[in-house]
Amino acid sequence: MGKLKVLMASSEVVPFAKTGGLADVAGSLPLALEEAGIDVRVIMPKYASVKSKEDEAIIGKGIKVYFVKNDDYFNRKELYGDKFGDYPDNIERFAFFSREVLERCKREDFKPDIIHCNDWQTALIPVYLNTLYKFDPFFANTKTLFTIHNMAYQGVFPKEEFPKLGLDWALFSIRYFEFYDKVNLMKAGLVYSDAISTVEGVLKTREDVLSGILNGIDARVWNPETDKKIYKKYSAVDPDDKGINKEKLQIETGLKVDREIPMIGLISRLADQKGLDLLAKIISELLNTKVQFILLGTGDNKYHVLFERMAKMYPKNASINLKFDAVLAQRIYAASDLFLIPSRYEPCGLGQMISFRYGAIPVVRQTGGLKDSVAEFDPKTGEGNGFTFSDYKAEALHSAIKRGLNLYRNRAVWEELVRKVMTLDYSWKASAKEYIKLYDRISGVS
């Protein structure tokens, strides 16, 4: 029997385009699948950020990434919207993308056993496969897996837009697309998929009908021992050079240069999901103590306004970077002592896994994937790997940060903790195996 053929369809893929964790997943899971013997290819839109002149590229050891080109739809600076909000033609853009995914398979003569769809932007693929392409022999053996990375974004549009999908109006019904008199792409995608998986812990409890598979990170990319973007490489054996990364970042960002001052990092989309309102309530008090805060993020305007104000008030101990910057992100992970993720909800979260690798101790709210991966550190037993809180309250966040800052003063214990988290394994190894089991099950191999 030949290799299982998988096409990973994603609206963002590292290193070509990224707004959040989906891009990390779509750029790293295929590498793990390939190593496990899957014939995997990837497909994504050709945005302005995709520099290749060709309509495909290679990642990892020969994995093909197909780009779907349509300059009117995708040759734009941003992926989903600009400062005026979501692009008004998003439904057309991703309907086009989804159909092109199927057409491209035919042009490349690549008959996938599985099309692995991710989030609402690809939700129309299982729909088209089961409607417009239902009797197409090319796809006779193609099954779909739909992975929900973030349930909060479902691709909801006014019903007037439905005709743009090129589907029968009959599908605008409660069983398929209709959702409170609007069009919901994810809903229809879930209905038509052969299997569904999610990265979300809560849903894991319904394993009889649904597979919950935690994300991993590419441990080769996120590795302070080999990372060329950080100022000085370091390892768990001797994490002392982490201090040099802190000093250099302090110089680069105009903060006071002193490696003893605890540095608190935060890298995030600035969206309500991320718990920034909690931080807003305590940030002044926090910045009046001996700490440095470095933020990297972009998103809702209200948070830009808030953090710009903070930057003006505390120029010496706050560095506010309102942009997307992959290099700066790596430098922040490398320089930070504590890393904040106070999310309201977090399906999986990658920030905590990356910060572990770089020896930055996460301070997280106990929700979703954060709850599954971060446990409160107990100085008595040495168990745990971070600082956590459960109530969605500013005081609870503040007290978790304070516990972190207190421990930071206890150098010996702190360094032990840093060494420990740096060796935790959140690579794709285990999760890729889970996906392969699921692919095999759907395609009828076992």
- Tokens 């005709």 appear where? 163
Question: Sheet harboring 63-68: ordered strands across?
Answer: 56-59, 63-68, 39-45, 5-9, 114-118, 143-148, 195-198, 211-212
- Interface pick for ligand ADP out of 16, 20, 133, 192 (rule CB under 6 A): 20
Query: How many whole angstroms separate alpha carbon 386 and alpha carbon 366?
Result: 11
Q: Which of 237, 326, 430, 445 binds ligand ADP (CB under 6 A)?
A: 326
Residue 17 or 102: the one with the smaller Cβ distance to ligand ADP is 17
- Rank residues 228 and 380 by Cβ distance to ligand ADP and give the closer one: 228
Does 21 participate in binding ligand ADP (rule CB under 6 A)? Answer: yes
Those residues with Cβ within 8 angstroms of residue 314's Cβ, 6 or more apart along the chain or in another chain: 287, 293
Per-residue tokens: 334: 């490398």
CA separation, residue 72 to residues 32, 69, 276, 389 (Å):
34, 9, 35, 46
The interface mask with ligand ADP, positions 129-168, x = CB under 6 A, is ---------------------x------------------
- Considering the rule CB under 6 A, would residue 216 count as an interface residue with ligand ADP? no
134 Cβ contact list (under 8 Å, min separation 6): none
Q: 164 or 344, CB closer to ligand ADP? A: 344
Q: Which stretch binds ligand ADP (CB under 6 A): 3-11, 104-112, 320-328, 382-390?
A: 320-328
Q: Which residue has the tokens 């690798």?
A: 357
Q: Smallest gap, in angstroms, from Cβ of residue 385 to ligand ADP?
A: 17
CA gap 46, 67 in Å, rounded: 5
- Least distance between ligand ADP and beta carbon 24 (Å): 5
Q: Looking at 31-39, 69-77, 84-92, 321-329, which segment touches ligand ADP (CB under 6 A)? A: 321-329
Which of the residues 344 through 363 are near ligand ADP (CB under 6 A)?
Answer: 348-351, 354
As beta bridge partners, residue 195 has: 145
For ligand ADP, which residue has the nearest CB?
21
Three-state SS across 223-256?
CCCCCCCCCCCCCCCCHHHHHHHHHHHHHHHCCC
Taking the complex as a whole, how short is the minimal distance between the CB of residue 6 and ligand ADP, in angstroms? 22
How many of the chain's residues bind ligand ADP (CB under 6 A)? 20
CB of residue 445 vs ligand ADP: minimum separation in angstroms?
A: 30
- Do the beta carbons of residue 110 and residue 4 sit within 8 Å? no
Q: Pick left, alpha or beta for residue 324 (phi over 0 → left; psi -120 to 50 → alpha; otherwise beta).
A: beta
**Measured distance CA(360)–CA(266) in Å, rounded:** 11
- Compute the least distance from the CB of residue 354 to ligand ADP, in Å: 6
Distance separating alpha carbons of residues 311 and 83, to the nearest angstrom = 21
- Shorter beta-carbon distance to ligand ADP: residue 38 or 361: 361
Query: Six-digit token pair at 177?
Result: 């697309």
Question: Cβ of residue 93: shortest distance to ligand ADP, in angstroms?
Answer: 20
Token readout for 138 is 């090319």
11 binds ligand ADP (CB under 6 A): no
Site track 267-306 with ligand ADP (rule: CB under 6 A), x = hit: xxx--------------------------xxx--------
Pick out residues in 228-267 that bind ligand ADP (CB under 6 A): 267
| Interacting residues with ligand ADP (CB under 6 A) | 20-22, 24, 150, 267-269, 296-298, 324-326, 329, 348-351, 354
